[in-house]
Amino acid sequence: MSKASKTIAILAPGAMGSAVARRLNESGARVLTSLEGRSEATLKRAAAAGMVGAGDDAIADADIILSIVPPGEAVALAERLAALIVRRAKKPVVVDCNAVNVDTVKRIEEIIGSAQAPFVDGGIIGFPPQPGGKSPAFYLSGEHARDVVVLKDLGLDIRVVEGPVGAASALKMSYAGIVKGLAGIGSAMVLAATKAGAADALRDELALSQPAILARLEVALPDMIPKAYRWVAEMQEISGFLGSDHPASQVYQGFARWFEHLAADAKGDAVDAELMKAFAASVARKKT
């Protein structure tokens, strides 16, 4: 099958899903999605990405289905997909691309497997692709991972992890645990220092002794504000990845509560959000 004749279904058309769809569309794939009950903003985003609204039957007939949803929705979507696929003679390859822990992705594998469909564990690392920019890395694992390497010919950065279902998710959990954990630590300490009158001193000390961390915070602090609500469930998944008996598991439960606070702040008076933006802006000014 040529790449141009590939039909890919992406559920759902969020920020990442629609950006991935645009990249696939630009490379000649036909990209379907489900638009039932979606907001006007989502409909516009899907249209701009070249996504075609389709019914359940058309989605089940796709060659590859990419699940790209918030982690808390991944299992429910797998159950919905299994119900669509189970009676089909031709089975799509289902790729779970969500930030879920190993136990969760193995549960999803069982759900999709109950419909006799091939399943691939996936983890996305990086930002949504921008026109003319690079693709985030799609790490894939499991026995069917190479069945979707064709996506590399459609503009995605596909990297196969040699290992079973769970290996790609373990990589995603570990990477996110480090990168977003650092954002959690940094934001908490920057706000604490700011409220105690030590923001400038902290900035200057980091510039001297930890310039790489300061450079990271300059970007990460404002960037995390609109994303904090999505990180809550991801931190809970990372806690589950470590296991309830792991001493560090509670650290990530704490981060989940912290990001929940930041998300509520951003929706409300944005007091902490403004302080984080102010710290990042002061870093930029200090460099000029």
Whole-number CA gyration radius for the chain: 20
Same domain, yes or no: 112 and 200: no
In this structure, are strands 30-33 and 7-11 parallel, antiparallel, or unpaired?
Answer: parallel
pLDDT at residue 37 in the model? 84
The number of distinct structural domains making up the chain is 2
Whether residue 100 contacts residue 237, with contact meaning beta carbons closer than 8 Å, is answered with yes
Could you report the per-residue pLDDT of 242-261, keeping only the tens digit for each? 999 999 999 999 999 999 99
Same domain, yes or no: 67 and 134: yes
The H-assigned helical ranges of the chain are 15-26, 40-48, 56-60, 74-85, 102-113, 167-195, 199-209, 211-224, 228-242, 249-267, 271-287
pTM score of the predicted model: 0.92
Same domain, yes or no: 151 and 29: yes
Same domain, yes or no: 98 and 26: yes
pLDDT at residue 273 in the model? 98
Residue 87: domain span: 3-163
pLDDT at residue 1 in the model? 43
Same domain, yes or no: 196 and 126: no
- 80 pLDDT exceeds 70? yes
Which of 163, 183, 218 is the last residue before a domain boundary? 163
Same domain, yes or no: 13 and 96: yes
Name the band, by pLDDT with cuts 50, 70 and 90, for residue 132: confident
Same domain, yes or no: 248 and 144: no
Query: Which helix (H) or strand (E) covers residue 124, if one does?
Result: strand 119-125
pLDDT at residue 131 in the model? 86
Same domain, yes or no: 131 and 31: yes
User: What torsion do the CA atoms of 124, 125, 126, 129 make, to the nearest 10 degrees?
Assistant: -30
Same domain, yes or no: 20 and 108: yes
Residue 54: CATH number of its domain:
3.40.50.720
Could you report the per-residue pLDDT of 197-228, keeping only the tens digit for each? 999 999 999 999 999 999 999 999 999 999 99
What letter represents residue 24's amino acid?
L
pLDDT at residue 287 in the model? 84
Same domain, yes or no: 104 and 217: no
Same domain, yes or no: 158 and 207: no
Determine the length of the chain.
288
Same domain, yes or no: 116 and 183: no
The mean pLDDT value of the chain amounts to 95
Could you report the per-residue pLDDT of 84-118, keeping only the tens digit for each? 999 999 999 999 999 999 999 999 999 999 999 99
pLDDT at residue 5 in the model? 62
- 234 pLDDT exceeds 90? yes
